[in-house]
Amino acid sequence: MHATCGIDWAEDHHDVAVVDSGARLLGKLRISDDAAGFQVLQLLAEHGDSPDDPIPVAIETSRGLLVACLRASGHRVYAINPMAVARYRDRHAVSRKKSDHQDAVVLANILRTDTEFHRPLPSDSDLVRAIAVLARAQQDAVWDRTRAHNRLRSHLREYYPAILEAFATKRERLLSREARTILAIAPTPAEAARLTRGRLRTAVTRAGRQRRIEAETDRLLEVFRRTWLRQPALVEKAMGRQTLALLAQLDAACLACDGLASDTEELFLQHSDAEIITSFPGLAVLTGARILAEIGDDRARFTHAGNLKAYAGSAPVTRESGKSRHVTHRRIKNSRLAATGRHWAFAALTASPGAHAHYNRRRDTGDRYHAALRNLFNRMLGQLHHCLTNRQKFDEAIAFSTPASAPLAAAA
């Protein structure tokens, strides 16, 4: 490696430094975050960069137009964690001095000395990168929807217990279209008590209900006309106005979730890995898209299943010093993949007899609920790595062979 490049990223400008194999600074440059600022490629060309032997680049982010430009030009881009950069900085100066130019030099020296300990950004296809954008946006929308729902529910508990009681047994509760439609026309207990049978029936029908409309209308009328504790009339009216504002945020979050989910599924089904991923028990189209978005389709990224398990946080980590040895779960991981893994493992319990049996064995050995689910996710993630590598679909008989048949399979 004749030269390495480090880029200290900022919002409106970037500092670039190029060093040779002897740590000598070959060149430095401050560029703007626009088309004119991409003269960094010219600086690299002046110091030996070529399509056949591109200079590797270290930067503290994996996103943005600068990273996209570097990747499109064929450079290997290494996204270095800012915490790691801070540790490397202490190797060169203990005075804690810091500057943008110095950080760019530190990043270049990281690749000069420890390239083998860092991974370049994966060479995923454009389709997978597009799926990742939509899948992550949809996951964020789900989290936003949950926060909006919790805020609305917490607010309604202060003055409107009737609406909470009316939908307490529903699976989606306030997230259901029926609950949101009724809240829109009756944001206060007083307005709910004045609802006529016809208006309530119309609201229930407009929300999408097709069966037992009359029975549901009677049930809601009975709940709303009970005697409930009430806030003063003026306070109640003001709280109703706040409810409408919170309801608008919840409606927007629900609309974003549904739209992004549809777009994500449509794009995911175009990928060749979709058929393999959805063959696994517990993985539907949307959760499968989330899995693919995080692991990508660059099969050289995870050469062993253990690498993928560590990345997902399902593999345990050992902390050992002297006579002390402690094995625990990983806290540094891909949080999106770990969150999807919990849903996957839980859904697999009812979709796969082998997964359910594995979970029960882990509980029998002393694992708690979350630990047993994490272990199941760990095992199924290894199976997914094998199937994607060998282009095979999931096979229940092979994935979860019985203990009695396992020795025979090993002998064969």
pLDDT higher than 90, residue 128: yes
257 shares its domain with 332:
no
Within-domain flag for 123: no
Each residue of 193-233: pLDDT tens digit?
999 999 999 999 998 888 999 999 999 999 999 999 999 99
Within-domain flag for 122: no
Within-domain flag for 389: yes
256 shares its domain with 296:
no
SS (H, E, C) 236-301: HHHHHHHHHHHHHHHHHHHHHHHHHHHHHHHHHCCCCCHHHHCCCCCCCHHHHHHHHHHHCCCCCC
- CA–CA gap between residue 111 and residue 80 (Å, rounded): 10
pLDDT higher than 60, residue 262: yes
- CATH number of the domain to which 88 belongs: 3.30.420.40
Within-domain flag for 124: no
Measured in residues, the chain has a length of 412
Q: Which of 126-130, 229-233, 327-331 has the lowest mean pLDDT?
A: 327-331
- DSSP state, residue 54: P
Q: Which of 30-34, 302-306, 356-360 has the lowest mean pLDDT?
A: 30-34
What number is the average pLDDT over the span 128-133? 95
287 shares its domain with 372:
yes
Integer angstrom CA distances of residue 31 from 40, 42, 66, 100, 101: 7, 12, 10, 12, 12
296 shares its domain with 402:
yes
300 shares its domain with 181:
no
pLDDT higher than 90, residue 43: no
**pLDDT confidence bin for 411, thresholds 50/70/90:** very low
260 shares its domain with 281:
no
Within-domain flag for 30: yes
139 shares its domain with 208:
yes
Helix (H) or strand (E) holding 67: helix 65-72
256 shares its domain with 285:
no
Range of the domain at 177: 132-266
Structural domain ending residue among the three candidates 266, 289, 306: 266
Within-domain flag for 272: no
Integer angstrom CA distances of residue 43 from 3, 28, 112, 120, 406: 12, 8, 18, 21, 59
> Which residues lie across from 18 on neighbouring strands?
5, 27
157 shares its domain with 282:
no
Each residue of 136-195: pLDDT tens digit?
999 999 999 999 999 999 999 999 999 999 999 888 899 999 999 999 999 999 999 999
138 shares its domain with 247:
yes
**Predicted TM-score (pTM) above 0.95:** no
Within-domain flag for 127: no
Phi, psi of 55 (to 5 degrees): -75, 125
Number of compact structural domains in the chain: 3
195 shares its domain with 290:
no
- CA–CA gap between residue 29 and residue 41 (Å, rounded): 11
Each residue of 272-327: pLDDT tens digit?
999 999 999 999 999 999 999 999 999 988 989 999 999 999 988 888 888 888 88
pLDDT higher than 80, residue 1: no
* Strand 57-59 versus strand 3-9 pairing type: parallel
Give me the pLDDT at residue 86, please.
86
106 shares its domain with 186:
no
Within-domain flag for 362: yes
